[in-house]
């Protein structure tokens, strides 16, 4: 049975040397009674949490539970309204800031990457690691430093440190962001917010291997992830957040216990599952012909694209999205919708509200003679905000939402249209387990209504929700899986060697 360690709230005003001393040498950092409000919203309601020296502390919770807010406070990017942060024997309340966090060796890798796209990899690394030395030759030193870290953590990464970040893939940018944080001298605490959501399986394994080397040397890691298997496999303890507070800390954990602490089990409604099982595929909606195994998706089908990251899945989605009447070898319906994999650069419209972002693709269906029906627009936004439990009112700025809730808006935007074909590029990146279940149910319901859905995911286990799966390798389809052959083991096997249709 899992062992639960119950958190006991402490006096938030006890920011004293006595409290700091009481933490002992084993504690790297601790939050004591931390609260944070944004207007009428209470993001944190008195959080007590500590990270021990040389441990990986996993942190889980639904989107909007307060995880990212707490991490920003620990990293000194935001200050608590009440409470204290204690790090390496120094206690501070409102005075805890980025400088204090840096002095304590705290570095954070954000879920929404904070790189400058017009600067090179080395220049980005230099911005956050300006070590003393001669003002001459700084670029060469930065290139060597970030290059060595990339080679150590992600062997075979394929990143040229003199390339502009904007030219890199999302996975490569994630590697650079992580490596940049690891360049820090006297690193004490590394905070990782969904670090593997953009990485392939090999790169994720390389990262975790390095994290265990770090903790063996006494560095602490605070790991946020919605990938429960990774959290359970690599964390020494797991903390669960719920409604802005720590619901419990587990010395041992299994997925069911964590989900229950988060607020309940995850399952799709039986009616939807039965409906999904009963549906039958209709006529071919989209197809790609060429070398190798041909691709097609029929009305009422969910078709998955699997294989190692970067093997042509995004390119296939791009071909379907860009297909025109005279596109050679590709056919697709005129009405189609697309959920991009990189929501920050290709997805959300940051200056717009939740409702504006959600309804922009559906305006044609609620307009007459070019005039948008305001009442229908509000009703459409309200329907999808309620259907996907999006934490944010229609008028809320999209940037005020957590990453997972932003992703819900993008998925809702696609399904709020009348598109016959919906293309999904790793749509559940940064989305919690319960929300994934809701979205799986949504996809099956929409497919049962006759939509065709093509879905790429970096998580092979998710392909179990598909009717058929195409495995790609080196830009070509090497196998088509369905029924009993659609297993995670088979997908992995076919990802490494040429396959045939079976």
Residues of the chain below pLDDT 50: 1, 3-18, 20-21, 91, 93-94, 265-276, 278, 498-502
Q: Are residues 155 and 219 in the same domain?
A: no
Count the Cβ atoms, other than its own, within 10 Å of residue 386.
9
Rg (C-alpha) for the chain, rounded Å, is 24
Domain boundary among 244, 265, 286: 265
In a domain, 144, yes or no: yes
Span 237-296, pLDDT tens digits: 999 998 899 999 999 878 888 888 887 544 444 444 444 454 566 899 999 987 678 999
In a domain, 303, yes or no: yes
Tally of domains in the chain: 3
- Give the structural domain span for 155: 112-185
Residue 428 falls in which region: left (phi positive, over 0), alpha (psi -120 to 50) or beta: alpha
SS3 call for 238: strand
Q: Are residues 255 and 389 in the same domain?
A: no
Q: Are residues 46 and 167 in the same domain?
A: no
Q: Are residues 161 and 45 in the same domain?
A: no
Q: Are residues 323 and 288 in the same domain?
A: yes
| DSSP notation for 450-495 | T-EEEEE-S-GGGGGG-SEEEEEETTEEEEEEEGGG--HHHHHHHH
Q: How far is it, in rounded angstroms, from Cα 218 to Cα 294?
A: 52
| Residue 500 confidence (pLDDT) | 46
SS3 call for 151: helix
What are the residues whose beta carbons fall under 8 Å from the beta carbon of 244, sequence distance 6 or more? Answer: 42, 43, 44, 45, 47, 65, 66
Strand partners, 476: 473
In a domain, 501, yes or no: no
| Residue 454 confidence (pLDDT) | 96
Q: Are residues 293 and 432 in the same domain?
A: yes
Q: How far is it, in rounded angstroms, from Cα 54 to Cα 341?
A: 34
| Residue 422 confidence (pLDDT) | 95
In a domain, 502, yes or no: no
In a domain, 413, yes or no: yes
Q: Are residues 228 and 350 in the same domain?
A: no
Q: Are residues 301 and 161 in the same domain?
A: no
What are the residues whose beta carbons fall under 8 Å from the beta carbon of 271, sequence distance 6 or more? Answer: none
Q: Are residues 170 and 75 in the same domain?
A: no
Place of tokens 């004591």: 32
Bridging pattern class, strands 56-60 and 237-242? parallel
Q: Are residues 5 and 146 in the same domain?
A: no
Domain boundary among 151, 185, 219: 185
Q: Are residues 90 and 28 in the same domain?
A: yes
Q: What is the CATH number of the domain that holds 89?
A: 3.40.50.300
In a domain, 60, yes or no: yes
Q: Are residues 376 and 253 in the same domain?
A: no
| Residue 497 confidence (pLDDT) | 61
SS3 call for 265: coil
In a domain, 36, yes or no: yes
In a domain, 170, yes or no: yes
Domain boundary among 240, 265, 290: 265
């Amino acid at each position: 049975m899992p062992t639960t360690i119950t958190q006991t709230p402490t006096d938030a005003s006890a920011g004293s040397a006595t409290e700091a001393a009481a933490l002992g040498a084993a504690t790297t950092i601790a939050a004591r009674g931390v609260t944070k409000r944004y207007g009428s919203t209470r993001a944190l309601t008195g959080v007590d949490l500590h990270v021990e020296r040389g441990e990986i502390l996993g942190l889980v919770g639904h989107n909007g539970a307060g995880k990212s807010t707490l991490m920003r406070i620990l990293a000194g990017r935001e200050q608590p309204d009440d409470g204290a942060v204690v790090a390496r024997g120094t206690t501070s309340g409102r005075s805890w800031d980025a400088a204090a966090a840096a002095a304590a060796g705290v570095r954070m890798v954000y879920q929404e990457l904070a790189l400058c796209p017009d600067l090179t990899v080395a220049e980005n690394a230099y911005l956050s690691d300006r070590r003393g030395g001669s003002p001459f030759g700084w670029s060469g030193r930065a290139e060597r430093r970030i290059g060595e870290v990339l080679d150590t953590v992600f062997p075979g990464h394929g990143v040229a440190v003199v390339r502009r970040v904007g030219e890199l893939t999302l996975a490569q940018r994630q590697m650079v962001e992580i490596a940049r944080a690891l360049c820090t001298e006297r690193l004490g605490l590394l905070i990782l917010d969904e670090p593997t959501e953009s990485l392939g399986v090999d790169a994720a394994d390389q990262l975790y291997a390095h994290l265990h080397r770090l903790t063996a040397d006494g560095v602490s890691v605070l790991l946020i992830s919605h990938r429960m298997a990774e959290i359970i496999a690599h964390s020494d303890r797991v903390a669960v957040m719920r409604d802005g507070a720590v619901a419990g800390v587990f010395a041992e954990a299994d997925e069911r216990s964590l989900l229950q602490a988060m607020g309940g089990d995850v399952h799709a409604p039986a009616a939807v599952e039965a409906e999904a099982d009963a549906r039958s595929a209709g006529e071919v909606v989209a197809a790609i012909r060429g070398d190798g195994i041909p691709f097609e998706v029929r009305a009422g089908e969910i078709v998955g694209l699997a294989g190692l990251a970067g093997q042509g899945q995004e390119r296939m989605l791009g071909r379907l999205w860009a297909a025109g009447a005279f596109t050679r070898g590709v056919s697709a319906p005129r009405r189609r919708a697309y959920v991009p994999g990189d929501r920050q650069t290709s997805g959300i419209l940051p200056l717009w509200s939740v409702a504006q972002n959600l309804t922009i693709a559906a305006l044609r269906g609620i307009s007459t003679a070019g005039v948008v029906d305001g009442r229908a627009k509000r009703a459409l936004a309200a329907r999808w905000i309620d259907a996907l439990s999006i934490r944010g009112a229609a008028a809320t700025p999209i940037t005020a939402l957590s990453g997972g809730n932003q992703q819900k808006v993008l998925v809702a935007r696609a399904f709020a249209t009348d598109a016959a074909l919906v293309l999904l590029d790793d749509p559940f990146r940064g989305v919690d387990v319960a929300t994934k279940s809701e979205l799986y149910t949504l996809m099956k319901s929409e497919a049962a209504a006759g939509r065709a859905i093509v879905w790429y995911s970096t998580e092979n286990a998710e392909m179990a929700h598909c009717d058929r799966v195409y495995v790609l390798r080196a830009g070509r389809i090497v196998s088509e899986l369905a029924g009993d052959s659609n297993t995670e083991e088979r997908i992995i096997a076919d990802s490494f060697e040429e396959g045939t249709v079976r």
